[in-house]
């Protein structure tokens, strides 16, 4: 008998049972009726938060599977394709979540006052899935913005704290990607010295930019000096890319996070992304930039909504509300290095073509 015939006949499924709708739809329990008349908008508040938590669950599911794929020493193209596909799904969910802010914004600040005080001290700080998402991406405790000199860890219960602390011990997406990039074979073969070519092309480009600033009569002396100083700073960053000690300094100052090798590999992928062998790696990096950008947009949309709801009041979790949240939009970033790579790119017309020997070496990885 064939495998197909041996398979057990599936049990009939009923829509509501499969989705456990009894449980799901019984889980919206406003607290306002305990203290007086039910606040009409509390149901919206609960449903919107629950919808977020469901999507957070799906995003964590995708990220866990991507971690699993990156764990392998070698990532063949089929698996890289799956990574790209799942990261893209995360981005699409994020876009949806960003739009959902508009739904909660249909509640006015005054309507929120009908039940806000009953929620103290619960807060978005206690969204363990949101914190798990941040940690799984690579935002660990040393890097996140603290509020009132404390960590959100002081606001969550023991079992949630233990769960997140354990998660912080595990590799995150940032470290997987850093290791994967660092494994790329590097690009000095007997017939091709890319970095040497790159450095001299940069020197020419920078000298060209300096000459434009020097000869621009529209600039005042002070403006010229400021522009030249900015160019010198960019030049110093370029030099650091190829100088171990200077690069280590940038890392120590928190100006870059990627390892030097990973940074060089990423730069190479960005510059040669049209080569078939770099197509998927570039899509991976681009998805990470999308995730970071969407998360920052969410933080920004959330803080705007919070200011609209609370003005300058503190949050139910006791932080300085929108002030704390505004700082997170600027500083709680994970993949900013990939965005900043744009600083180091060169126009295609001055890039050397990749020799066949390099392409073959890359295909083997
Ligand atoms: C009336 C609507 C909302 C208000 C007034 C509000 C307010 C706040 C405030 C003030 C904070 C800072 C912590 C505190 O002091 O409590 C916060 C954090 C947070 N909120 Fe909201 N929030 C609202 C809706 C939402 C929604 C719909 C979500 C979706 C899940 C959400 C998720 C979060 C998260 C994850 C944090 C922690 C952010 C971080 O630490 O970076 N909030 N919220």
* C-alpha of residue 83 to centroid of ligand 1, in Å: 30
Per-residue pLDDT of the chain (365 residues; tens, 9 = 90+): 555 567 888 999 999 999 999 999 999 999 999 999 999 999 999 999 999 999 999 999 999 999 999 998 888 888 999 999 999 999 999 999 999 999 999 999 999 999 999 999 899 989 999 999 999 999 988 888 876 656 788 889 999 999 999 999 999 999 999 999 998 876 666 667 777 888 888 888 888 889 999 999 999 999 999 999 998 888 888 888 889 999 999 999 988 999 999 999 999 899 999 888 899 999 999 999 999 999 999 999 999 999 999 887 777 766 667 788 999 998 899 999 999 988 888 888 878 777 777 777 666 55
How large is the C-alpha radius of gyration of the chain? 25
* C-alpha of residue 166 to centroid of ligand 1, in Å: 24
Nearest residue (CA) to ligand 1, atom 21 = 124
Atom of ligand 1 nearest to the CA of 306: 5
* C-alpha of residue 79 to centroid of ligand 1, in Å: 36
Nearest residue (CA) to ligand 1, atom 4 = 306
Instruction: Check if 249 has its Cβ closer than 6 Å to any atom of ligand 1.
Output: no
| CATH no. for 37-186+259-341 | 1.20.58.480
Contact 91, 295 (CB under 8 A): no
* C-alpha of residue 140 to centroid of ligand 1, in Å: 19
Residue 246: strand, helix, or coil: helix
Instruction: Check if 310 has its Cβ closer than 6 Å to any atom of ligand 1.
Output: yes
Domain extent listing, the chain? 37-186+259-341
Nearest residue (CA) to ligand 1, atom 31 = 124
Nearest residue (CA) to ligand 1, atom 10 = 315
Nearest residue (CA) to ligand 1, atom 43 = 124
The length of the chain is 365
Phi, psi of 253 (to 5 degrees): -80, 0
């Amino acid at each position: 008998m064939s495998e197909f015939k041996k398979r057990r006949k599936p049990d009939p499924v009923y829509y509501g049972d499969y989705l456990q709708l009894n449980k799901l739809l019984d889980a919206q329990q406003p607290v306002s009726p305990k203290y007086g008349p039910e606040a009409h908008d509390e149901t919206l508040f609960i449903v919107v938060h629950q919808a977020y938590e469901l999507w957070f669950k799906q995003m964590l599911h995708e990220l866990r599977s991507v971690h699993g794929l990156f764990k392998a020493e070698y990532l063949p193209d089929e698996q890289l394709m799956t990574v790209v596909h799942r990261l893209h799904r995360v981005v699409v969910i994020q876009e949806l979540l960003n739009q959902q802010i508009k739904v909660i914004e249909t509640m006015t600040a005054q309507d929120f006052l009908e039940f806000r005080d009953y929620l103290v001290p619960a807060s978005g700080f206690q969204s363990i899935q949101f914190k798990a998402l941040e940690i799984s991406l690579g935002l660990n405790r040393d890097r996140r913005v603290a509020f009132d000199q404390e960590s959100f860890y002081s606001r969550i219960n023991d079992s949630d704290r233990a769960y997140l602390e354990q998660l912080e011990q595990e590799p995150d997406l940032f470290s997987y990607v850093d290791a994967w990039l660092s494994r790329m074979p590097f690009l000095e073969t007997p017939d091709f010295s890319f970095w040497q070519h790159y450095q001299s092309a940069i020197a020419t480009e920078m000298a060209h930019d300096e000459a434009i600033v020097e000869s621009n009569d529209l600039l005042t002396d002070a403006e010229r000096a400021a522009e030249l100083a900015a160019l010198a700073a960019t030049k110093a960053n370029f030099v650091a890319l190829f100088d171990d000690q200077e690069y280590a300094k940038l890392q120590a100052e928190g100006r870059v996070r990627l390892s030097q090798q990973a940074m060089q590999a990423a730069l190479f992928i960005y510059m040669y992304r049209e080569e078939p062998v770099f197509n998927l790696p570039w899509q991976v990096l681009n998805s990470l930039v999308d995730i970071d950008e969407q998360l920052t947009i969410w933080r920004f949309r959330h803080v705007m909504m919070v200011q609209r709801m609370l003005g300058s009041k503190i949050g139910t979790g006791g932080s300085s509300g929108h002030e704390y949240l505004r700082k997170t939009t600027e500083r709680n970033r994970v993949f900013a290095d990939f965005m900043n790579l744009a600083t180091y790119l060169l126009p295609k017309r001055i890039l050397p073509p990749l020799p066949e020997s390099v392409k073959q070496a890359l295909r083997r990885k």
